[in-house]
Amino acid sequence: MFELFIEEILAKKRGVQGKFQDKTYIRLTNSYGGWPEGSIVFKDLIIAGFPKIGRINSLESGLREQFSGSFWMEEKVDGYNVRIFHHQGQIYCATRGGFICPFSTDRIVDLLNVDIFIDHPNLVLCGEITGPGSPYIEGPTPLVSEDIKLFIFDIAKGSTMEFLPERQKHELISRYALPSVKNFGLFENQPEDLRQIKKILLSLHNEYREGVIFKEEPFGRRTKYVTANSDLNDIAVFSQKILDVSPNYFIDRIIRYVLFLTELGLIEENNWEEKLGKAFVCGIKEVLKKVQADGRSSRFFRCRFRELKNAEYFIEHLKHIPGHQEHVIIKKVYKENSYWVLEFEKTFPSTSDTLRNWLSGALRFD
Amino acid sequence: MFELFIEEILAKKRGVQGKFQDKTYIRLTNSYGGWPEGSIVFKDLIIAGFPKIGRINSLESGLREQFSGSFWMEEKVDGYNVRIFHHQGQIYCATRGGFICPFSTDRIVDLLNVDIFIDHPNLVLCGEITGPGSPYIEGPTPLVSEDIKLFIFDIAKGSTMEFLPERQKHELISRYALPSVKNFGLFENQPEDLRQIKKILLSLHNEYREGVIFKEEPFGRRTKYVTANSDLNDIAVFSQKILDVSPNYFIDRIIRYVLFLTELGLIEENNWEEKLGKAFVCGIKEVLKKVQADGRSSRFFRCRFRELKNAEYFIEHLKHIPGHQEHVIIKKVYKENSYWVLEFEKTFPSTSDTLRNWLSGALRFD
């Protein structure tokens, strides 16, 4: 059914072939033919890429600009995006980039009662996986203290890029007891609602949770807004690989941090300047120590698999993720209780090389 | 004498023509024929561009790597670099980029007893001009509280790129009472000297002074090293135009800040994380206020000229500085005592536009 389309994609270099177990597929590395980047094309099925959601950096004016009527407010979880779908009798999880993820696919039965696919084989569940046992996420997450959890936030209709209206999604979530993000209810652009929205954001901020997504009712526009403490957390985590990250990443977060604190009336409190400094400095102190001791900066990961062969597929998969080639060191694979544990290290080459060079006393011309 | 060379430079687009008063010249926009970028070519004279000085980010290992014998330690002043030279009976000042600067040239007789050029017409004095009355420098400087001052740090032999040995320079500075940077003496790579060097750096740091240049004795290699408080000051000043500056500018300074504090043993003190946060936040708060009030971020400048026509030349000159075209608004020119005062504003377009856009509630896809 999509054979010709697949040939076209490959000929025009808009996608590349992926493989998981005995399954081959095409993942779009660029949007093509109306399908967004990250879409997955099988011979008989297309799973659309997850659309980008625009961010507002200014809450009140942002909500006013984006929504003329009612909108839902729902928690945004800091993890990695998966699309969970059914194909020829098996459940798969795809990451944002369109890879079928051996880790998420292996563990999905731990995270979700997959009965929903018996009744609705054509739905695509979209969620966030997070936790210290994730192979992609660095740094702590306040919602999960060990291993990983899944938080569903959208359900798409089969191959289309169309999401179910919120109420219908809530119904399915409740009927199948799906693990989902927290929904804070329906709001409008009026003073009492804005006060309530800010109150919720303040409590998310205080718990170091990431932020929220606002979604038009019954469906349509959507936008994200994150807390200052989530920006801080990003800075603290990413400053450990400060020279392997686009410097704009930090500048954006610094400005957003100030905007959030200003808009939520926290700007006159007295320890948040120190917290910004600390976020940078703790990470950099740490990485300097590591570079001095080990000659490199790196991060340790430990994740559990149900099946050994999926751990092996995952090791292979890591080599294909942009920016991961050559920078992953596999440390150990061993059995613990009923799981296989994979331990690996990601190294940060620019941070390691540059800081080692600076510490050696080299001259720099800038 | 250099007519053919000038034709070559223009034909190969390695330089462009500049004009000041009745004088035309070529400034090299790229290095060419052995002359560095910023060199100034007249028909009968070449003034070499000022060479870049490499930075060490690590003091002890840096000094060990760069110097095998004795080296001088001299203050580095935070201002703009000028080369002061004599040509056909007049004294001119050139900026780093190779422009003859109408402001500096106008004011040079206020800054320097130019008698040295009567005895030595072929010397080139290299110095830093700084102060709140400078048209180029943003932010405060601890060394100058009003108007501007000059600090000579090098003397070059005529057209060559060769600097006089330090002792000979000191002799001329003293004989002609030239205003100069502070010299801290001659050191070697040995523990007592390093202790002394750190003590000096600590006091410069505490006074928010920029840092030092180390120079091989009698001449040769040179390198710069700056204080953490100078990095902080840069961050505070530049965060007011945060989106008009390369983000690497900030990342570099953050890392250098931590390295300096670590190496000088200040890292366990307890208010420098707050100071880093404040440096960013004060600037950003300020600029957000400005953008909300005036729709743009800008900085005000006020500088004094001896002659009105030089103020006019300077206005023309501003249009030719890369990045200044269209972003300078002339406010006023008026006479005050025996000086002409020029007031102008530099606007920061990316910071202004981006923040205005964010504050308006626009969506961003990042």
B15-59 confidence digits (pLDDT tens): 999 999 999 999 999 999 999 999 999 999 999 999 999 999 999
Spatial separation of the C-alpha atoms in residues B309 and B21, rounded to whole Å: 9
Q: Do B363 and A56 touch (CB under 8 A)?
A: yes
Cα–Cα dist B8/A324, whole Å? 48
> A83-97: per-residue pLDDT in tens?
999 999 999 999 999
CB contact B65 to A (< 8 Å): yes
Contact: A250, B255; criterion CB under 8 Å: no
Nearest to B280 by CA among B313, B323, B247: B247
- For A:131-170, CB contacts with B below 8 A are none
Percent of chain A predicted with pLDDT > 70: 100
What is the identity of the amino acid at A220?
G
The answer, yes or no, to whether residue A159 has pLDDT greater than 80, is no
Give the integer Cα–Cα distance in Å for B244 and B252.
Answer: 16
Chain A: closest CA distance from residue B50 (Å) = 14
Residues B197 and B65 in one domain: yes
Mean pLDDT (whole number) for B248-260: 96
B366: which chain A residues are within 8 Å (Cβ-Cβ)? 55, 252
ipTM greater than cut 0.85: yes
Q: Do A366 and B252 touch (CB under 8 A)?
A: yes
DSSP state of B53: -
Nearest-by-Cβ selection for B361 from A56, A284, A366: A56
pLDDT band at residue A267 under the 50/70/90 scheme: confident
Indicate whether A158 and A245 sit together in one domain: no
Which structural domain, as residue segments, surrounds residue A322?
Answer: 298-359
CB A41 within 8 A of CB A6: yes
Interface of B with A in 278-297 (CB under 8 A): 278, 280-281, 284-285, 288
Mean pLDDT of chain A: 95
Instruction: State the total domains in chain A.
Output: 3
Q: Domain for residue B167, yes or no?
A: no
**Residues B106-131: tens digit of each pLDDT:** 999 999 999 999 999 999 999 999 99
CA-to-CA distance for B101 and B47, rounded, in angstroms?
14
Residues B337 and B353 in one domain: yes
Answer yes or no: do A258 and B288 touch at CB < 8 A: yes
Of the candidates A283, A289, A278, the one whose C-alpha atom is nearest the C-alpha of residue A238 is A283
**pLDDT at residue number A366:** 84
Q: Are residues A78 and A185 in the same domain?
A: yes
Measured in angstroms, the CA of A288 and the nearest CA of chain B are apart by 8
- Measured between alpha carbons, how far is residue B303 from residues B45, B139, B146 in Å? 30, 14, 10
pLDDT score recorded for residue B269? 78
The SS3 of residue B27 is strand
> If you search the block for the tokens 């981006």, which residue do you land on?
B354
* pLDDT, averaged across chain B: 95
- Strand, coil or helix: what is A34? coil
Q: Do the domain assignments include residue B329?
A: yes
Torsion, Cα A350 A352 A353 A359, to 10 degrees, reads 130
Judging by beta carbons within 10 Å of its beta carbon (0-12, 13-18, 19+), is residue A66 exposed, middle or buried?
A: buried
- In-domain check, residue B328: yes
Q: What is the CATH number of the domain that holds B275?
A: 3.30.70.2160
Count of all residues that appear for chain A in the document = 366
Chain A contact for B194 (CB, 8 A cutoff): no
Once rounded to an integer, what is the mean pLDDT over residues A169-197?
97
Tokens representing residue A17 in the block: 């072939």
**Do B270 and B315 sit in the same domain of this protein?**
no
> A254: which chain B residues are within 8 Å (Cβ-Cβ)?
239, 242, 280, 284
What is the nearest CA distance from A313 to chain B, expressed in angstroms? 31
In this structure, the answer to whether residues B210 and B353 fall within a common structural domain is no
> For residue A366, which residues of chain B lie inside 8 Å, CB to CB?
55, 252
CATH number for the domain spanning B67: value is 3.30.1490.70
Q: Are residues B305 and B339 in the same domain?
A: yes
Looking at chain B, the whole-number percentage of residues with pLDDT higher than 90 is 90
Each residue of A206-237: pLDDT tens digit? 999 999 999 999 989 999 999 999 999 999 99
Determine, for residues A262 and B285 on separate chains, whether the beta-carbon distance falls below 8 Å: yes
Mean per-residue pLDDT, B78-93 = 96
Handedness of CA A230, A236, A241, A246 (dihedral sign): positive
Question: CB distance from B55 to chain A under 8 Å?
Answer: yes
Residue B169 included in any domain? no
